[in-house]
Amino acid sequence: MSPEPDGPIPVPTVQGGPPAPKPASPRSPSTPLPSPHRLPLLAALVAAGCSTTRDLASVLDPYRAGRVEAAADLIASEEFEAQRSSGSDGVIWLLEEGKVLQDAGRFEASERAFARADRRMRAFERTAEISVTDELAGIVAGDGRRDYRGRGWEKILLEVYRSLNALALADLEEARVFSRRAFVRQAEAVAAGAEEIEAARGAARSRGIDPRELLGQERVREHAERAATLVTPAYADYANPLASFLAALFAWVDGDLSAARVDLAKTAAMVPGHPTLEAFSAEVGARAAAAGSAGRVVVLLECGLAPLIVEDSVTVASDNGWSRLAVPALAFCEREVAGLAVESRGSSVRTLPLADVDAVVAADFKRRLPGILLRALTAAFLKEAATTRLRHDHGDWGAVLGSVWKLATSGVDRRTWSSVGAQFQLAHLDRPADGLVTLAALDPHGGRHLVHDVELPDDGVVLLLVRSANLLSLQSHVLPLTQRHPTPQP
């Protein structure tokens, strides 16, 4: 998208050469300007960044087309080990790999990919938020060449998925550990978001840019307000009701009724009036132990696809030619799956919304947007200085080269975890006497799709994990919580 600007966004121009260097600090590193002899490397850097993005999109095409097993084979193949090991893109590749493998029921392989992603993200957390090398890569070759460190919402959801993997691998104790770590990640995300914005403000001020002038622009406010429409108080600080519910469920099964009550209360406060939560709260409140449950099926549906990042932009004229300020925006995917019908002989239930990932992502985006825009304007300032040097050394051709460089490297970072669902839904039912349930994905008009039967184990409590990205695929996995032996379904 490239609509006309409602008002000019100022790009500082530089006359007679680059600004004098300023002292470096941990929050606002002094970044060397790209010299003319470095610019021939630009095409290779940009091409590499575009290539890895295209590679990942093509690998996920079979997943979106309903061929989950084929996507799992492809994304886990040796062909893409270099991408998974990449310093700049490895985290996003490993997150996507882990999720696709989990949906295919390959829980051990999924956990290995998630563990690698977790180690990478924690290693990044031990380094400065904005490094000189990372900032220079963003300026010279575009924001998409920065190291992908993982978003706050992705780190929280990673812990949730790892808890499900642990449950599938018959380790309830480990599942509880991961579910508690999701709460720690939530607090870390709030703090990291504030630090990221402050670091971007400091870097902008060090270059003579007034952050208030940029963030007050009408176009910038429009994007922030668009994201804010999906943010409710329940999601404002990265809270995820799914994490709280799973923590409560695992505690209940493990016999820790006190912890189960606390986590259920947190969940109910975020999703008031949910019938499944109310039923569990009544049981836990009556001190009913899961071990004494006469056959319970908890259905967790993950449906749809999380938002993508697209680009809006403003092109402005300066003394050196043209500059383009790219502005990121969220694009929400159509929700083809409205719910899941779970039917047994003589009864039927339908899943109801529990956690809205679209809202979680919107909250994260709204919090990060000021920092993204401040970095973009700071990069534009530095590119103006470098283009001034090119114009001074090479005349009109230098100005043309500088303008092409600025336009080619001003795109937004579109990397985001795109195989996760847009929403989680929840239902529960008593175990049918014959142990059979029929699943059907429901479209927004009530139509039934992808109907198939699932055989349940004879167990006290089981979690029926269902994934339907769209009306082309539906995967289900039966995870017993008491006998703890996973039974993947086709």
Average pLDDT score, the chain:
78
If you ran DSSP here, which 8-state letter would residue 238 be given?
S
pTM of the model: 0.80
Joined together, the tokens standing for residue 355 give: 């956690």
Q: Is residue 20 part of a domain?
A: no
How many angstroms separate the CA atoms of 356 and 450, rounded?
Answer: 23
Kindly report the backbone phi and psi dihedral angles of residue 2, in degrees, each rounded to the nearest multiple of 5, phi listed first. -145, 65
Average pLDDT over residues 95-123: 97
Structure tokens at 368: 């990060």
Q: Is the pLDDT of residue 61 over 90?
A: yes
Choose among 233, 223, 409: nearest CA to 309.
Answer: 223
User: Given this model, what pLDDT does residue 489 score?
Assistant: 44
How far is Cα 314 from Cα 331, in angstroms, rounded to an integer? 18
Model pLDDT, residue 378 = 72
Residue 27 domain-assigned?
A: no
Domain-embedded: residue 392? yes
Any idea which residue has 């089981």 for tokens?
A: 462
Helix or strand or coil: residue 277? helix
User: pLDDT higher for 214 or 489?
Assistant: 214
How many structural domains does the chain have? 1
Q: Is the pLDDT of residue 447 over 50?
A: yes
pLDDT for res 87: 86
Say if residue 186's pLDDT is above 50.
Answer: yes
Identify whether 10 is part of a domain.
no
Element (DSSP H or E) covering residue 360: helix 357-408
Q: Cα separation of 187 and 185, whole Å? A: 5
Check: CB of residue 30 under 8 Å from CB of residue 235. no
Q: Is residue 204 part of a domain?
A: yes
Domain contains 29: no
Residue 454, strand partner residues = 437
Q: What's the pLDDT score for residue 379? A: 74
In a domain, 6, yes or no: no
| Of residues 182 and 119, more confidently modeled | 119
For residue 26, being part of any structural domain is answered with no
CA 389, CA 370: separation in Å to the nearest integer?
29
Task: Quickly state the pLDDT bin for 18 (edges 50, 70, 90).
Answer: very low
Domain that holds residue 472: 36-488
Of residues 14 and 78, the one with the higher pLDDT is 78
Average pLDDT over residues 325-330: 80
